[in-house]
Amino acid sequence: MADKYIQSQQMDKVVEHQMGQWELSHSAEENSEKQTHLAGEMEINYITISRQLGSGGEQIAQILSDLMKWQIYDHEILDYMAENMDVHVKTLESVDERTISWINDWLAPLFSSKSGEHVEQMSYYKHLGKVLLVIAKHGRAIIIGRSAGQILPREKGLSVRVTAPFELRCSRYAQTNNISIEEATELVSTSDKQQAGFMKELLQKDINDPVWYDIVINMEKLTPKSVAKLIWRTLEQRIISRQEQVKVDAEGEDITLIVERQMQQWEEQRNEPDKQKPLEFPHLAGGAEIEYITIGRLIGAGGAEVARILSDQMNWQLYDREILEYMSKNMKVHVRLLTSLDERTVGWIGNRLMPFLARKTKEEHIKQMRYFQHLGEVLLALAKHGRAIILGRGSGLILPREKGLSVFVTAPYELRCKRYAGEKKIGLEEATSFMNKSDRHLRRFVKDFLGKNLCDPLDYDIIFNTEKIYPASVTKLIWRTLDERLASEREQSDVPQPDTTGNP
């Protein structure tokens, strides 16, 4: 009981201090061009971070706060401000009447469907929403948890989701809190269920759906410091995206000529190894280089445009769906592709594919099996040659994560349909029909071939939502992510690893 009282007193001091800061900044900003507004202008004034327990989200927020000098609001502070009526009223008094009216109008649709819920629960939800909106109005805030990214207006905030594989999160949480792995596993599992339930109950949304965020970051191969820097760069690109959207026109080219030219380049590299030494591709294990980028995407999300721009910027070869299919189906090209590699690599490719192809039953069509096998061999051979940007065909789920950067590009369904209709100059109804078929085909392809879900955040390094971050900005962030992957690997290699052998 005493601990709870002390914690309440400490929280009261934190909140009182922040309200004092709001009051001091209010008079200073009245005559400043940097005054925060929730509509118009180009600034992004708050960052929301949704995170899974053990993923490192809190550490990322703290590093980001130190870098940007923005205030952190975690779930404990938000709960305190929502539940303490005196604080709640003082919070609302810190903004003008026009803003209060806007806040009430914004929250009304969110809670209209919950009119029959428990009165006390509804009161908390409404107070929480008002607290979040007031914090957003004051700006320069990093808000952790409590579905803030889904409650607040997307126009003025950057919405981030931080995740990591379950076993890794349990291990990290156990180590950080000096508890057993069994206890950590139970706590992490319970937290996941509570998070998903909170958002489902409050907003009827799936917390793991990447479409509700600007970016989703997998912490498996990135450090908190690298992710904090990446979020800051993403904020900048959100602003740039609002200022201008770069439109890149796709120029068609004969697939046969593309493949023949690439084969010729590989042959030249093999015959003149000394000239190509600075560009040699390292082995697929070890080292600190990233030699290929895979881009999975939903049609209409802009993934193809992202790949084209990135290929131009990095001067790496682009392999899209048409090229991959041509190389997989054309036996002559397929054989020449494999003969461009050494026997050891060809053997490694076969071993890599075995677990995937073993999932296919003997009764399945032989032709389909042959295509899957050839596709896998083509993708792995391209990875071995390196300096490749590979678009689609489940490449990010097939190729080794150690030597490649895996990206997925998504966008809200209605927006994708609208974009596709405009691009193809067709009616929205026709575009919607095509989008439904395309999505079903793509998900079935990944499920049948790899036994995975297309949009699972844990299968990628990072997921971008192009609703408010346009393709030209996404390409810059991918390049930045590649840099941070390398920096993370170097940083982690410098940290002494714990001895798990039991030796003294």
Residue whose token pair is 């995407």:
297
What count of residues does the chain have? 504
Cα separation values, 485 from 225, 329, 478, Å: 11, 34, 10
d(CA 167, CA 23) in angstroms, rounded, equals 45
Question: Is-contact 409 297, C-beta < 8 A?
Answer: yes
Backbone torsion region of residue 79, taken as left when φ is above 0, otherwise alpha when ψ lies between -120 and 50, otherwise beta: alpha
d(CA 217, CA 261) in angstroms, rounded, equals 36
Rg (CA), the chain: 25
Say what the pLDDT of residue 163 is.
Answer: 94
Residue 74: closest CA among 119, 116, 14: 14
The full set of domains in the chain, from first to last, is 43-208 (3.40.50.300), 243-492 (3.40.50.300)
Question: Is-contact 251 309, C-beta < 8 A?
Answer: no
Q: Give the β-pairing of 462-465 and 292-297.
A: unpaired
**351 Cβ contact list (under 8 Å, min separation 6):** none
Say what the pLDDT of residue 90 is.
Answer: 60
Structure tokens belonging to residue 193: 């269920």
Structure tokens belonging to residue 328: 């997989």
Q: How far is CA 45 from the centre of its chain?
A: 20
Say what the pLDDT of residue 286 is.
Answer: 43
Residue 232: closest CA among 110, 366, 42, 67: 67
- Render the burial of 374-391: b for 16+ CB within 10 Å, e for the rest: bbbbbbbbbbbbbebbbb
286: number of Cβ within 10 Å: 9
Sheet holding 388-391, edge to edge: 71-73, 141-144, 46-51, 157-163, 215-218, 462-465, 404-410, 292-297, 388-391, 317-319
pLDDT per residue of the chain (504 residues) written in tens, 0 to 9? 445 444 555 666 666 666 666 665 655 444 444 433 444 445 788 999 999 999 999 999 999 999 999 988 887 777 777 777 666 566 655 555 555 565 666 666 666 655 555 555 667 777 777 788 888 887 888 999 888 888 888 888 999 999 999 999 999 999 988 999 999 999 999 998 888 888 887 778 888 889 999 999 999 999 999 999 999 999 888 888 776 544 444 445 555 666 666 666 666 656 665 444 433 333 333 445 788 999 999 988 999 999 998 998 888 989 888 888 777 777 777 777 777 766 676 676 776 676 666 665 555 555 566 777 778 888 888 888 888 999 988 888 888 888 899 999 999 999 999 988 888 888 999 989 988 988 888 888 788 777 788 888 888 999 999 998 888 889 999 999 988 988 888 877 665 544 333 332
